[in-house]
Every structure is written in structure tokens, then in C-alpha cells.
């Protein structure tokens, strides 16, 4: 784009076409207060068309009659906020009355009604016939051709074009129905500057626009509008059109014009552009029919496009299935890239393909030089997992002009970034001769104080477009993504097979190590248990010979704690892990052994609620000793040596382990100063934790919180 063209487009985009302050003079417009219907402004020949000399400050009922004013109120109070209010007859003249709201203003428009209009039954029959023809159209192109014929039959205009918006807001005439002596614009393109952005926005808002006479003189609002904000006339049927657009139509040799928007899924897909050599109106009933028919056309456009995409996807799926079967027979694509690249090229209809894997480059078909292929692969890697898709590579990648003949289009996929592994499909340059309705690159530069004017030439102007390839469709991009997923799945399956093989080998080796560990741990456990048993027997002998009841009780307490240590040690070394242990399973087995050692009365009294938590073995030993000590304390203090319910809970959150031992006995709210309490405090300090004694309502709840892993 040149600076001159940018200036031209900016000037077009700034033109305030929604606030012209005037109407087309074939009709009359009143502006009234919404609440009172008092008329404040009017435009058009009020006296000449309606025979009214006094209207300013009057109510709509006084000017138009009670029935019409009531209908206006009903229409504007409906959910739609406006619409058709009926027909007004004044002498031999008849007017269709339309109304809508603009802020707090009520706008009423009257436009000439042509005779009795087309009978409703005839109009409905014509619309049904056209809609049926749309449904029978096999393709999108056939649909557009049929639509041009049907809309010309409905409107009676000399030329009707189906105009579709393309990239960069340019438009192309896909189909045309015209009188024999009308010049044709079929397959011609129009630059985006012909329909600027604010005009496209109004086409979405107002689906039908008419200009019965392109040489009219605008009829301004009377009296002159003096409020700070101009009157927004976006929804006015009679709104005066931009002078630039009027001159544009005159330059085309058009006497009257109409347009009907094709809005698909809320987006302006295209226009039904109607031209007539002489003056021609499109009355309200024809506009209503055209609006309804355009809605049906938009639905059929969506259906035809979706059907074409579906057929394309099914075709690609078939090619993918064939290729997948062939890859499977040869042992996988990744192992036979040179043999499989031809299939990849065929699936996406490319002219060439490359696979860059590590330092290796595999090439097939038409492609850039190897060094440039590597550079394109690096570019794809910088874009991340999303595919690189372009049909104008020279515009997106520096230096690509030198090999545009081989690759003006690229679709690139990163299969694996770590190797790296990148797939690249290439499409060669496809020269395209575009017929423009006038030179799209020629614009008018505005000087100081100059007025924007449209281009005057619509003579066919041909442009040869270079540096572009055939576009990649969404279905083709999806197919490439599925191929990547297939490659990744195949790679995952191969890795899983290899991992299973290695795991089997490792298990064979580990079996011998486990046997050695079992023998070693068994020997260690046996020696520790023997030592603990000797100490316990010694304490028993000392208790028998002590003769002092207090000393005997102390020896008995020491024997209980030795028994607890023995249980903890024996339970721990029955596991199959050395470094870590599952605390839930460990405590479950430990509590089962404790219940047995404490007597039959304790069967089913100790309950465990524990989530799986992995902890280092050395910390598990200490935790086991603490839990054992707390259970012994509950037996001793809560239940006086008898059996009673105890609940042990073990939960982990954010690296902190919480272990609680709860009883329902007498309760004890502070630890004693005995040997057990001092041992408990030492064990808690060893773990770097804290223990709190809380009321369990009834009984005591001892809550221990420690880090799962020791702090450095």
C-alpha cells in the first residue's frame, strides 16, 4: 500500500455517514419526543406530500391521525423497538409508515407506497419458490448463481450481483444476473476502500438499503439541529447517503441502487447489490421479502460451506487412513521417513514436503534448498506448538522471495521440540490474474481543504498476483495436526514397548537384589528382636527382685515401651521398601499388631483413618514410636488400663503431616513430667514438629504436626 492509498482509506473511514442530518427527498421524516410524541423536527416536503403547513410543536396524533400515532406507540414499545406502523392515505397519495427510537427521540418515516403492492400470497409463493431453489443448489457457487436470478426476479433491478467479502476487505462478484445491455462485473474484484469499515458496520445493522435516485438533493432537518450531539440516523430508511457514494454510483452509470446484506453468524459475509439504469424504488413489501429471502440465503450459505468442509474432511480422513495402514505395514513412518514423505505430500495436496529431525533433513518433491529448509524449521520451532500456516511466505519470512517458485506457501508442524522433529509442507507459487473493476492501487491524495472523491474508472483492470500459493484450508490444517498426533501416539507406543522391555530386564536384576535384601533385613530384624527380648527379660527379672511396688511398676512400664519398640521395628522391616514407606499401610499393620499384643479386649477398638502418604523410612520409625506411645497413654490415663475406643487419623497437605490420636475417656489436658512425656518431647523435636493436647468432647485429642520431609 502506498501512503496515498492510506490517506484515501483513512478519509473514507472518518466520514460520519450515520449522522448526515438530512434524508432522501422521496419521503418525509418526523422527529418527536418519545414521551409526549410532540414533533420537534421534520425533513422532506411535508407541505407538498402531506398537505401540512403547521407541524412544529404538534403531536403525531394531530399530524398523522390517532390510529397511526397509536400504532407508532405500540411498535416502539415492543421488544423490537421499531418497525412497520401501517399505511397512511392522504388524498390520492399513500405512504408506508415506519418508526423506531433513537435515544429519547421517536423517529417516524413516511415513504411513498406503490399502488396496492404485490399481494401477500403472491409474494409468499415467490419466496417459497426461491427458498426451494436455494436448497436444491448443489454447491456454494450454484447457490449464488441461483440467488442472483431470484433476487432480480423479486426486485426487478437491471443488474443483481452476489458480492462476497474476501481478505483485506476486498470483495468479489461471485454471480450476476443482468439485462443484456448492462455491463458485467462477474468475477471482478472491488478494493476494500469501496466499502469502508463504517459502511460495513451499517450493513450489518440495516439489512436493506435503497437509493431510488442517485441524483437527489438531500432534504435537511428543519429547523436546524442545534443540540450538542447530532441525531443518530443509523436505523433510518430515508437516511441521506454519503456524497462520495452517490458520486461513486454515478461514475458507474447507475441511476438507482439497493443492497441487501448477507449476514452469516452475525458477520457480514456479502451483499446482494442491485443496480438500475434509471430511477427505481424498492417499496416496503419488496424490501421485507428481500430481507427474509436474504436470511434464507445466509442459512444456505452456511449449510453449503459446512457441507463442503465436511466433504473435504472426509476425503482427507480417507487419505489419512490409507497412509496410516501403509505406515503400519512398513514399521512406522518415523523409522521410514524417506519412504513415507510421498504419502504425506499426497494427503495435503502439497508440491513438496520435508522432515527435519535432529541434524538430518529428508526431502521429497518441490522444495527450497536444504539450508533454507533448516531455516524454516527453526522458524516453526520459534512459533511453538501451533502450526505455521501461510500462502504468502515471502510476506512472512525474510529471504523467501528467492525460492518462491518452489515454496510460496508453507504449513509447518513441530512434532517434537526436544530433538527437534519438524514437518514442512510446501506449495509452489500459483500465478493469479485478478480482474479488478478499476485499478485498486490508484487513489486520490487529499490536499488542504480538498474534499474526498471516489474513483471514476470501473474499466476492467488486470493484475498478476505473484508470490502466493493455493491456500491451506482449515480441514488440511486439522489433517496435519491429526498426523502429528498419530506420530506422537506411535512414538509413545514404541517408548512404552521399550520401557516394558527395560523394566522386565530391571525386574530380573532386582529380583536377585530383593532376595539379598530379604536375607539381610531378616538377619538384622532377627538380631534386633533378640536384643530387645533379652533386655525385656532382664527388666522382668529386676522387677521380680525389686520388692518395691513403685520400682516394679517402673520396670513394667519400661517393658511395655520395649514391646512397643519391638512392634514398630518388626512392622517396619516387613515392608518391601528401604528409602520410603506408605504411612497409611504402615500404621494399619502396626495398629493391628498393637491390638493383638494389648489383649482380646482391644479387638476392633483402635480405628485408623489415613490417606496414602509416602514418608522417609527414618521418619516413619519415629512416627510409629510416637503413635505407639500415645496409644499406651490413652490406655493408661483415659481408660485406666481397660480397653476403649481410640481413633488414629493421618492426613497430609502442602508437605505437612497431621497425626491425631483421639480417645473418649477421662481426658488429660497437659502432659506429665514422667519418662514417657520426656521421650515424647524428644521424638517430636527430632521430627521438627509440634504436638498439642486438645479437648475431644469427650476425651483427649493429641494432634501432632510435622513436615513430611525433614527440613534442611
CB atoms within 10 A of CB 16: 10
Same-domain check for residues 595 and 701: yes
Q: Read off the CATH number of the domain in which 235 is found.
A: 3.30.450.40
Same-domain check for residues 38 and 186: no
Q: Is residue 322 domain-resident?
A: no
109 contacts 97 by C-beta, under 8 angstroms: yes
Higher pLDDT, 550 or 396: 396
Q: Is residue 484 domain-resident?
A: no
Output the pLDDT for position 496: 67
Euclidean distance between CA atoms 422 and 378, whole angstroms: 9
Rg over CA atoms, the chain: 44
The pairing of strands 409-416 and 82-90 is unpaired
Output the pLDDT for position 123: 86
Same-domain check for residues 495 and 549: yes
Three-state DSSP state, 282: coil
Euclidean distance between CA atoms 688 and 684, whole angstroms: 6
Output the pLDDT for position 132: 93
pTM beyond 0.75: no
Same-domain check for residues 151 and 288: yes
The pairing of strands 614-616 and 656-663 is unpaired
Q: Is residue 646 domain-resident?
A: yes
Per-residue pLDDT band at 332 (split at 50, 70, 90):
low
Q: Which domain holds residue 86?
A: 21-112
Q: Is residue 315 domain-resident?
A: no
Q: Is residue 82 domain-resident?
A: yes
Domain count across the chain: 5
19 contacts 232 by C-beta, under 8 angstroms: yes
Q: Read off the CATH number of the domain in which 663 is found.
A: 3.30.565.10
The share of the chain scoring above pLDDT 70, in percent, equals 75
For 135-158, the pLDDT digits (tens) are 999 999 999 999 999 999 999 999
Q: Read off the CATH number of the domain in which 103 is found.
A: 3.30.450.20
Output the pLDDT for position 244: 83
Task: Give the residue carrying C-alpha cell 487419623.
Answer: 649
Per-residue pLDDT band at 514 (split at 50, 70, 90):
low
Output the pLDDT for position 190: 78
Same-domain check for residues 288 and 192: yes
Euclidean distance between CA atoms 656 and 689, whole angstroms: 9
Q: Which of 198, 168, 169 minimizes the C-alpha distance to 14? A: 198
Per-residue pLDDT band at 7 (split at 50, 70, 90):
very low
Three-state DSSP state, 159: strand
Q: Is residue 483 domain-resident?
A: no
Euclidean distance between CA atoms 298 and 266, whole angstroms: 10
What mean pLDDT is predicted for residues 251-259? Answer: 90
- Element at 413 (helix H, strand E): strand 409-416
Q: Flag whether pLDDT at 355 surpasses 80.
A: yes
**Alpha carbon separation from 700 to 410, 646, 650, 683 (Å, rounded):** 73, 10, 17, 20
What phi and psi, each to the nearest 5 degrees, are found at residue 325? -65, -45
452 contacts 4 by C-beta, under 8 angstroms: no
Max Cα distance, the chain (Å)? 137
Same-domain check for residues 10 and 49: no
Output the pLDDT for position 21: 87
Q: Flag whether pLDDT at 442 surpasses 60.
A: no
Same-domain check for residues 127 and 231: yes
Same-domain check for residues 379 and 466: yes
> Which of 112, 133, 149 is a domain's end point?
112
> Which of 274, 309, 344 is a domain's end point?
309
Higher pLDDT, 231 or 493: 231
Per-residue pLDDT band at 171 (split at 50, 70, 90):
confident
Output the pLDDT for position 546: 64
Q: Flag whether pLDDT at 399 surpasses 80.
A: yes
For 175-217, the pLDDT digits (tens) are 999 999 898 888 887 777 777 788 888 888 889 999 999 999 9
DSSP per-residue codes, 648-677: EEEEEETTEEEEEEEE-SS--SS--SSHHH
Q: Which of 591, 539, 589, 542 minimizes the C-alpha distance to 560? A: 539
468 contacts 429 by C-beta, under 8 angstroms: yes
Same-domain check for residues 608 and 650: yes
Same-domain check for residues 569 and 586: no
Q: Is residue 375 domain-resident?
A: yes
CB atoms within 10 A of CB 286: 20
Give ∠ CA 649-650-651 in degrees, rounded to 5.
120
Long-range contacts of 337-343 (CB under 8 A, 24+ apart): 337/362, 338/362, 338/364, 341/365
Euclidean distance between CA atoms 291 and 289, whole angstroms: 5
Higher pLDDT, 33 or 168: 33
What mean pLDDT is predicted for residues 427-453? Answer: 52
Q: Which of 376, 378, 433 minimizes the C-alpha distance to 409? A: 376
Same-domain check for residues 436 and 498: no
Handedness of CA 285, 290, 295, 296 (dihedral sign): positive
Contacts of 119 (CB under 8 A, 6+ apart): none
Handedness of CA 264, 265, 268, 274 (dihedral sign): positive
Euclidean distance between CA atoms 500 and 497, whole angstroms: 5
DSSP 193: G
For 364-381, the pLDDT digits (tens) are 888 999 999 999 999 988
- Three-class HEC string of 414-452: EEECCCCEEEEEEECCCCEEEEEECCCCCCCCCCCCCCC
**Alpha carbon separation from 569 to 152, 521, 564, 566, 677 (Å, rounded):** 96, 11, 9, 5, 21
Euclidean distance between CA atoms 682 and 676, whole angstroms: 10
Q: Is residue 606 domain-resident?
A: yes
> Which of 59, 88, 112 is a domain's end point?
112
Q: Flag whether pLDDT at 276 surpasses 90.
A: yes
What mean pLDDT is predicted for residues 473-492? Answer: 79
For 48-69, the pLDDT digits (tens) are 888 888 889 998 888 888 888 8
Q: Flag whether pLDDT at 223 surpasses 90.
A: yes
Q: Which of 456, 56, 46, 123 minimizes the C-alpha distance to 284? A: 123
Same-domain check for residues 249 and 262: yes
**Alpha carbon separation from 523 to 274, 526, 529, 572 (Å, rounded):** 100, 5, 10, 14
Helix-helix angle 617-633:675-687, to 10 degrees: 150
For 37-51, the pLDDT digits (tens) are 899 999 999 988 888
Q: Residue 53 pairs with which residues in a beta bridge?
A: none
535 contacts 562 by C-beta, under 8 angstroms: yes
In whole numbers, what is the pLDDT of the chain averaged over residues?
79
Euclidean distance between CA atoms 642 and 583, whole angstroms: 27
Amino acid at each position: 500500500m502506498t501512503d496515498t492509498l492510506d490517506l484515501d482509506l483513512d478519509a473514507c473511514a472518518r466520514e460520519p455517514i450515520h449522522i448526515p442530518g438530512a434524508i432522501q427527498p422521496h419521503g418525509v421524516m418526523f422527529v418527536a419526543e418519545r414521551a409526549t410524541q410532540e414533533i420537534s423536527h421534520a425533513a422532506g416536503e411535508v407541505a407538498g406530500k402531506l398537505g401540512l403547513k403547521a407541524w412544529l410543536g404538534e403531536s403525531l396524533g394531530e399530524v398523522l391521525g390517532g390510529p397511526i400515532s397509536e400504532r407508532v406507540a405500540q411498535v416502539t414499545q415492543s421488544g423490537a423497538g421499531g418497525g412497520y406502523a401501517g399505511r397512511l392515505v392522504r388524498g390520492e397519495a399513500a405512504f408506508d409508515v415506519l418508526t423506531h427510537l433513537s435515544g429519547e427521540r421517536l423517529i417516524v418515516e413516511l415513504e411513498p407506497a406503490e399502488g396496492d403492492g404485490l399481494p401477500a400470497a403472491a409474494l409468499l409463493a415467490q419466496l417459497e419458490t426461491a427458498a426451494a431453489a436455494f436448497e436444491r443448489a448443489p454447491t456454494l457457487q450454484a447457490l449464488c448463481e441461483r440467488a442472483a436470478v431470484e433476487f432480480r426476479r423479486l426486485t426487478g433491478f437491471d443488474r443483481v450481483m452476489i458480492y462476497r467479502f474476501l481478505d483485506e476487505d476486498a470483495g468479489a462478484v461471485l454471480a450476476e444476473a443482468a439485462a443484456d445491455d448492462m455491463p458485467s462485473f462477474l468475477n471482478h474484484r472491488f478494493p476494500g476502500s469501496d466499502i469502508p469499515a463504517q459502511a460495513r458496520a451499517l450493513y450489518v445493522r440495516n439489512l436493506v438499503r435503497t437509493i431510488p435516485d442517485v441524483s437527489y438533493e438531500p432534504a435537511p432537518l428543519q429547523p436546524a439541529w442545534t443540540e450538542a450531539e447530532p441525531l443518530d440516523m443509523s436505523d433510518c430508511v430515508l437516511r441521506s447517503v454519503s456524497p462520495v457514494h452517490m458520486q461513486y454510483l454515478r461514475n458507474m452509470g447507475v441511476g438507482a441502487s439497493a443492497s441487501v446484506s448477507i449476514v452469516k453468524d452475525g458477520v457480514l459475509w456479502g451483499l446482494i447489490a442491485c443496480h438500475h439504469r434509471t430511477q427505481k424504488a424498492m417499496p416496503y413489501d419488496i424490501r421485507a421479502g428481500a430481507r427474509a429471502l436474504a436470511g434464507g440465503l445466509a442459512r444456505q450459505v452456511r449449510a453449503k460451506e459446512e457441507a463442503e468442509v465436511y466433504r473435504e474432511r472426509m476425503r482427507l480422513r480417507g487419505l489419512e487412513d490409507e497412509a496410516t495402514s501403509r505406515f503400519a505395514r512398513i514399521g512406522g513412518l518415523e523409522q521410514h521417513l524417506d519412504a513415507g514423505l510421498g504419502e504425506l505430500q499426497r494427503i495435503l495436496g502439497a508440491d513438496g514436503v520435508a522432515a527435519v529431525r535432529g541434524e538430518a533433513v529428508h526431502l521429497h518433491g518441490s522444495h527450497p534448498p536444504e539450508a533454507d529448509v533448516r531455516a524454516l524449521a527453526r522458524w516453526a520451532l520459534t512459533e511453538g506448538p501451533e502450526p505455521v500456516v501461510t500462502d504468502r511466505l515471502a510476506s512472512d519470512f525474510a529471504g523467501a522471495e528467492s525460492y518462491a517458485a518452489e515454496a510460496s506457501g508453507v504449513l509447518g508442524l513441530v512434532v517434537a521440540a526436544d530433538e527437534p522433529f519438524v514437518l514442512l509442507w510446501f506449495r509452489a507459487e500459483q500465478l493469479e490474474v485478478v480482474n479488478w473493476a478499476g485499478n485498486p492501487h490508484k487513489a486520490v491524495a487529499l490536499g488542504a481543504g480538498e474534499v474526498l472523491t471516489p474513483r471514476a474508472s470501473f474499466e476492467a483492470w488486470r493484475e498478476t498476483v505473484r508470490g502466493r500459493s493455493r491456500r491451506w484450508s482449515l480441514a488440511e490444517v486439522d489433517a496435519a495436526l491429526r498426523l502429528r498426533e498419530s506420530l506422537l501416539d506411535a512414538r509413545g507406543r514404541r517408548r512404552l514397548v521399550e520401557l516394558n522391555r527395560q523394566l522386565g530386564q530391571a525386574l530380573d536384576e532386582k529380583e536377585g537384589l530383593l532376595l539379598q535384601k530379604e536375607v539381610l533385613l531378616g538377619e538384622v530384624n532377627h538380631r534386633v528382636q533378640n536384643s530387645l527380648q533379652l533386655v525385656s527379660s532382664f527388666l522382668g527379672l529386676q522387677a521380680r527382685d525389686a520388692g518395691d511396688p513403685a520400682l516394679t511398676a517402673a520396670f513394667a512400664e519400661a517393658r511395655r515401651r520395649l514391646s512397643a519398640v519391638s512392634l514398630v521395628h518388626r512392622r517396619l522391616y516387613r515392608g518391601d521398601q528401604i528409602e520410603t514407606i506408605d504411612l497409611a499401610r504402615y500404621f494399619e499393620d502396626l495398629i493391628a499388631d498393637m491390638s493383638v499384643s494389648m489383649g482380646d479386649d482391644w479387638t476392633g477398638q483402635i480405628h485408623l483413618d489415613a490417606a496414602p502418604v509416602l514418608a522417609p523410612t527414618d521418619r516413619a520409625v519415629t512416627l510409629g514410636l510416637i503413635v505407639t506411645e500415645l496409644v499406651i497413654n490413652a490406655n493408661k490415663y483415659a481408660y485406666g488400663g481397660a480397653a476403649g475406643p481410640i481413633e488414629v487419623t493421618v492426613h497430609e497437605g502442602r508437605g505437612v503431616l497431621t497425626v491425631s490420636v483421639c480417645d473418649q475417656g477421662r481426658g488429660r489436658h497437659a502432659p506429665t513430667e514422667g519418662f514417657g512425656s520426656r521421650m515424647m518431647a524428644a521424638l517430636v523435636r527430632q521430627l521438627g514438629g509440634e504436638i498439642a493436647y486438645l479437648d475431644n468432647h469427650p476425651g483427649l485429642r493429641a494432634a501432632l504436626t510435622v513436615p513430611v520431609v525433614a527440613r534442611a
